[in-house]
Amino acid sequence: MSLFRPSQNHLSLGRAFFDQVDAADFPKTVLRHRDQRWASRVGLDGLSEAEWLTHFGRFEPLPGSLPQPLALRYHGHQFRSYNPDLGDGRGFLFAQAHDLEDPRLLDFGTKGSGKTPWSRGGDGRLTLKGGLREVLATEMLEALGVYTSKSLSLIETGEELYRQDEPSPARSSVLTRLSHSHIRIGTFQRLAYLEDTDSISQLLDYCIANYYPDLAGAADKPAAFLQAVVANVARLGAQWTAAGFVHGVLNTDNINITGESFDYGPWRFLPHYDPGFTAAYFDETGLYSFGRQPDTLAWNLTRLAECLLPLSSIEALEPALNTVWPIFREELPRQMLRRLGLTPRDTESDGAFVTELFGFLLSSKASYEQFFFDWRGGTLSAERAARSPSAELYASEAFRPVANGLENYGPANDVNLDHAYFARTTPRTMLVDEVEAMWEPIVERDDWSRVETALAEIAQMRQAYGVTP
């Protein structure tokens, strides 16, 4: 691990921000997923399988990083009801290190690693299916150009779990994710709830030093920090929309301050464009539906602003909040055109085209991912689109305004339609039925071949789209 560049930065916050905990002692450890590409980014690609299981199954500390796991403290609004009884209940911050290709700090966070003081009566475990779903979500989102945490490791741990939302007993696992931050809006909310202004100031300084160092000289650090977080979170909302992704549980404790998609639960991808589509069966009012995600992110950012008030003022913070929707509206056409591999023209034209496109997708119920696949590069793909399962829709009168709009755009420089991925008739998708189809042979005969095929196809898609995280 000579290239591994460890950090212990989180310890500088002090014991008021976390609890030192021990990992669970699992009866067995079986490696199910190892992201070798990201392992190399942090200098861990040379670990043997036995060494990997030692660090990410039994959580022996990585040299020079955190000497003991930290269960982080936070509060949060859950479906807009404040809950002060939160915190890392089945995970912890295991390590920190620097990306070898980018000097930014990376956190190694876990899910399913055992009980903590914040387990709230839970068993601190993660089902194997839940871990697999997070691997699939992060791999797919990264390939679609969404800023997301990475699933570094998934290890089956040999326990039987009982869950209301899965057939039980369920197999257990522990996941290790890489994320640029595990500081959540809820981390600030806890300190505001406790009226601990000194700690809010300390946390703000930590976030600026580690995640927004260019703000170090800002005249009004709280306002500058809020503006930076607003920009990143609004951009994330636009990326989700372009990817047709529904997070499912956008509580304030599930939004981090780097604007990075993470903490995946009942996520889903759209089969077709539907603003009312929800991912979680318990989201009975559709609060976190696809079309309401941007509004929810704006609401959550307002909660962050409230936490910063002791260090600033409404007059200083309000301008940043007023930019949430303008940034989203500017970013959405950019993200949609990026997915289509087209060069933007101007704000007004791009916005009008995307509005027309959404209208067609809504009325036609065309396959969401199929459309982006078929029309990658715009009119350069007209012949490909004519062979698509959606070809009849593209020949309809309803599609004509979109077709006319596509003619106004040229391909982006990175479009490579000669890539083998575009020889397919249909794109790689990750709809809920496909996930279930992958899981079925695992349950029946421990057959992971469908998962392996899906991950290989996602890697091919990422390369075809030229995504470089």
- Tens of pLDDT, residue by residue, the chain (469 residues): 558 999 999 999 999 999 999 999 999 999 999 999 999 999 999 999 999 999 999 999 999 999 999 999 999 999 999 999 999 999 999 999 999 998 899 999 999 999 999 999 889 999 999 999 999 999 999 999 999 999 999 999 999 999 988 888 999 999 999 999 999 999 999 999 999 999 999 999 999 999 999 999 999 999 999 999 999 999 999 999 999 999 999 999 999 999 999 999 999 999 999 999 999 999 999 999 999 999 999 999 999 999 999 999 999 999 999 999 999 999 999 999 999 999 999 999 999 999 999 999 999 999 999 999 999 999 999 999 999 999 999 999 999 999 999 999 999 988 999 999 999 999 999 999 999 999 999 999 999 999 999 999 999 999 999 998 6
90 is in an annotated binding site: yes
111 is in an annotated binding site: yes
Domain end marker among 182, 207, 238: 182
250 and 150 share a domain? no
If one counts the domains in the chain, the total is 2
34 and 174 share a domain? yes
Catalytic annotation present for 35: no
Q: Which domain holds residue 274?
A: 186-331
Alpha helices in 20-67 (DSSP H): 36-41, 49-56
161 and 222 share a domain? no
129 and 193 share a domain? no
76 is in an annotated binding site: no
Q: One-letter amino acid identity for 406?
A: L
Coil, strand or helix: which one is 219?
coil
Domain end marker among 125, 150, 182: 182
Strands (E), 255-370: 268-269
Residue 395 lies in a domain: no
139 and 172 share a domain? yes
How far, in Å, CA of 23 to CA of 13, rounded?
22
153 and 208 share a domain? no
184 is in an annotated binding site: yes
Residue 360 lies in a domain: no
The torsion defined by the Cα of 48, 51, 56 and 58, in degrees rounded to 10, comes to 150
Tokens of 199: 């700690």
Burial label for 378, CB within 10 Å (0-12, 13-18, 19+), is buried
Residue 261 lies in a domain: yes
28 is in an annotated binding site: no
171 is in an annotated binding site: no
**Distance from the first to the final alpha carbon of the chain:** 23
The torsion defined by the Cα of 38, 44, 46 and 48, in degrees rounded to 10, comes to -100
68 and 199 share a domain? no
- Torsions phi, psi of 415, nearest 5? -70, 125
Domain end marker among 139, 161, 182: 182
93 and 174 share a domain? yes
Catalytic residue chosen out of the listed positions 35, 88, 107, 253: 253
153 and 265 share a domain? no
